[in-house]
Structure 1
Amino acid sequence: MTENSSNIKLDNATLSMFDDVKTSMTISIIYMMVTAINLVGNGLSMWILLFRMSPKTASIIFMINLTLTDLALGTALPFQIAYQLQGYHWTLGPGMCSFLSLVFYTNMYCSILTMMAIGIDRYLGIVWPMQFRGTRKRKCIAVFSCFVMWGLVLTVLHPLMTTDLTFDIPKLGITTCFDVLKKNMLPNQLAWATFLFSMVFVLFLFPFCITTFCYVSVIRKLASDCRTAKKQRAIRLAVVVLLVFTLCFAPNNILLLYHSVLRLFYKQSIYTAYKLSLSFSCLNSCLDPFIYYFASKDFRQKLRQILRLQSLVSADSMRMERKESMYSNQCTFEGQEREQGKLCLMPGTSQRKEME
């Protein structure tokens, strides 16, 4: 944060970041991989969730909302890649800078809140199944919750919509986008602290605690019941979701809090580490389609049908046909030896005929 572009007082850590080509290339490569996997995986997931899966349960509604935010990130990342490859030089103007920055951070925090909502839905369905059996009521709550989540995120991030986030640095010959924020973006230091800490505590830490509680409760509930293969898969899935949530979002938001405290009160910076963690947080948008695949049997079947692979039912049928064919061939072979006194026994037959 600094005063304005005509009175530049950037610290050495920030200036060195803009000159660090290796970090810029690393971030660009991560964004390229994320974009490719994101658009393909989430595009296919959205098609399945919207047009192939019915009825639309509360879980599917939350998955659609999560996929929508992931796709929004996938469409915004190419602009960020171009910005990085040009040495942190933004050429698309202040309006696009504000819009794409809003899309970027809205995706992150809507994803966090949606994963929290999915965790709550699973917690209620597994730990308290009798009290929350109303499918239609849960669907209405899910739709309403999605609107509340978007409203909350846009309210907290409102300053991004009303501020010029570009910043000219004549010394380096570049115009940055969101990497250097003007102090007049918000009226005073208290407003800055409220804005940054709201992003960390309201949009991350509180949902993180709720999500952790829900999935730990689900794991404990399933582990205490009789162990079946289906429940073991559900436990593993809960552990995976919790790990993905923690590894993708926790480092970025912890570093944001640490960087904000250093910047506001000690005039120091760890912005390079924060930028790297921000790129790794985008990996979550690539992993969501794989979580859907392992979480929903119906999703797996629809995906296999689209990709012209065998569904679980057809695979079982083919195995039965092969087994019957094997027995048929065996009987044909044995029929050829009837003259030697051997008779064919069909599978399942318990009686044995005496040798002729």
Structure 2
Amino acid sequence: MRGNSSRTQLDNATLSLFQNVNTSSVISVIYMVVTVINLVGNGLSIWLLLFRTSPKTPSIIFMINLTLTDLALGSALPFQISYQLQGYNWTLGSKMCSFLTLVFYTNMYCSILTMMAIGIDRYLGIVKPMIFRKNKRRKSIAVFSCLLMWGLVLGVLYPLMTTDLTFDIPELGITTCFDVLKKSMLPTVGAWAAFLFTMVFVLFLLPFCVTMFCYVSVIYKLSSDCKTVQKDRAIRLAIVVLLVFVLCFAPNNILLLTHSILRLFYNKSLYMAYKLSLCFSCLNSCLDPFIYYFASKDFRQKLRQILNLHSLSSADSIRTENKETLYSG
């Protein structure tokens, strides 16, 4: 993201990036791989979650929400691939640019908030089972939480919906999409600070801390209860979620904040690193199906049936329905 307001402010590093064929090719290849895995993995996941998994517990509702955001990203990535292969030349107009950029960032932050919600659901089911059982409106709360997530993310990202994110670069004969971001998108430096603070701290750092607290508490509880198989699965789930945060979300959000501060106040740039981190952030949509596998017994069973792996673990066989509902949604 560049904090430029006119084409004369484009520095040599930025122009060099747009002419760097190798970087563009690497990003395109990563997007192609992600698109294929995303559409296949999440297409199978949404079919299992919607039509082969019952009942629709809060965890399943959150997983459906997460899968839908991933599929939206997978549908948008081919446009980004075309843009990269054309040398950063956007030909689909400003409205389409704004829409696809919104899809890109909505996926990231809705995924973060949804993983937090799944973590809270696991925490209540394992660590606070009495509170969990007493709440008879958990499904309604889950649906409302999903709507609240979308409302919060779209509210924060509202400037992306109302701004022309395209930028003409006559010296290269291209029109970029969200690669040169005008300072005029927001009226003041204070508004920019609030925008960046909300994205990085409210939509990333706070959910990350809550999610890690929930999974650490779950692992500690299962360890004290000596439920070895449940503990192992909880640990695997925590590891996958941690990988998604550390590999996909953390670099992008940290570089977004650092690059924006350098650009706004010091006229320096980390744009190349930020561009690559934005690319790797899409990998979350490939890892999310592993979250479903470790978080839902029903999902595991149906997937094994599809793959002709009918044998269940001993823990899955002897676990009571009530315990499994509390743990695996």
**2:16 partner SS:** helix
Partners of 2:225 and 2:247 in 1: CA distance? 29
User: Residue 136 of structure 1: CA displacement?
Assistant: 3.9
Matched, 1:164 2:164: yes
Structure 2 CA distance for partners of 1:311 and 1:135, relative to 1, 3 Å: farther
Superposition deviation, residue 64 in structure 1: 0.3
Give the secondary-structure state (helix, strand or coil) at the position aligned to 1:2: coil
In the other structure, the counterpart of 1:25 is 25
Residue 223 of structure 1 deviates from its aligned partner by 1.8
Residue of structure 1 in register with 2:284 after alignment: 284
Number of the residue aligned with 1:2: 4
Relative to structure 2, which stretch is displaced further, 190-199 or 115-124?
Answer: 190-199
Counterpart in the other structure of 2:122? 122
Distance 1:276 1:242 in 2: 20
Q: Match of 1:101?
A: 101
Counterpart in 1 of 2:323?
Answer: none
Contact 2:38 2:286 in 1 (8 A): yes
State the structure with bigger RCO (CA 8 A, min sep 6), 1 or 2: 2
Q: Which moved more, 1:49-58 or 1:193-202?
A: 193-202
Residue equivalent to 2:83: 83
Cα distance in 1 for residues equivalent to 2:111 and 2:256: 17
Distance of 2:169 and 2:150 partners within structure 1: 34
Counterpart-to-counterpart distance in 1, 2:297 and 2:88:
44
Moved more, 227-236 or 106-115: 227-236
State the partner residue of 2:305: 305
Using the alignment, how far apart are the partners of 1:43 and 1:155 within structure 2? Answer: 28
Change (3 A) 1:177 1:305: same
**Does the 8 A contact of 2:166 with 2:177 survive in 1?**
yes
**In 1, are the aligned partners of 2:54 and 2:298 still within 8 Å (CA)?**
no
Match in the other structure for 2:62:
62
Alignment of 1:161-200 (within 5 A): 161-200=161-200
Measured after TM superposition, the shift of residue 101 of structure 1 is 0.4
Which shifted more, 185-194 or 264-273?
185-194
Q: Which amino acid is 2:268 matched to?
A: Q
Superposition map of 1:312-351 within 5 A: 312=311
User: For the residues of structure 2 that align with 1:301 and 1:226, how far apart are their CA atoms?
Assistant: 24
2:274 corresponds in structure 1 to 274
Taking a change above 3 Å as real, the CA distance of residues 224 and 254 of structure 1, as seen in their structure-2 partners, is same
Give the whole-Å Cα distance in 1 for the aligned partners of 2:19 and 2:80: 17
Residue matched to 2:318: none
Task: Give the match for residue 242 of structure 1.
Answer: 242
Kindly name which structure, 1 or 2, has the bigger radius of gyration based on alpha carbons.
Answer: 1
The question of whether the paired residues in 1 share the 8 Å contact of 2:222 and 2:231 is answered with: yes
Deviations 1:198-247 (A, max 9, x none): 11111111111111111111122122221422322222322332232222
Aligned partner of residue 131 in structure 1, secondary structure:
helix
Of 218-227 and 176-185, the range deviating more from structure 2: 218-227
Secondary structure at 2:131 match in 1: coil
Residue correspondences, number? 312
Deviation track 1:300-351 (CA, whole Å, cap 9, x = no partner) reads 22123334x14226x9xxxxxxxxxxxxxxxxxxxxxxxxxxxxxxxxxxxx
Q: Secondary structure at the match of 2:4?
A: coil
Task: Tell me which moved more, 210-219 or 150-159.
Answer: 210-219
TM-score normalized by the length of structure 2: 0.91
TM-score by length of 1: 0.84
Unmatched runs of 5 consecutive residues or more in structure 1: 316-356
On the 8 A contact 1:99/1:161 being kept in 2, the answer is yes
3-state secondary structure, aligned to 2:133:
coil
Q: Which runs of 5+ in 2 are unaligned?
A: 315-329
Given that 1:218 and 1:238 are in contact with CA atoms closer than 8 Å, whether structure 2 keeps it comes out as no
User: Residues of 2 paired with 1:169 and 1:115: CA distance?
Assistant: 39
Query: Residue 260 of structure 2 aligns to a residue in which SS?
Result: helix
Displacement of 1:94 after TM fit?
Answer: 0.5
Q: Kindly, what percent of the aligned residue pairs are identical?
A: 78
1:208 paired residue number: 208
Deviations, residues 110-161 of structure 1 (Å, cap 9, x unaligned): 0000001111111111111112114641111111100000000000000111
Supply the AA of the counterpart residue of 2:165: L
Measured on the aligned residues, the alpha-carbon RMSD in Å equals 1.7
Secondary structure, aligned partner of 2:132: coil
Whole-Å Cα distance in 1 between the matches of residues 67 and 191 of structure 2? 32
Cα distance in 2, alignment partners of residues 289 and 224 from structure 1:
29
Partners of 2:189 and 2:154 in 1: how far apart? 21
- The residue type equivalent to 1:311 in the other structure is H
3-state SS of 1:168 partner: strand
Aligned to 1:333: none
Runs of 4+ in 1 over 4 A off after TM superposition: none
* Aligned-partner SS, 2:38: helix
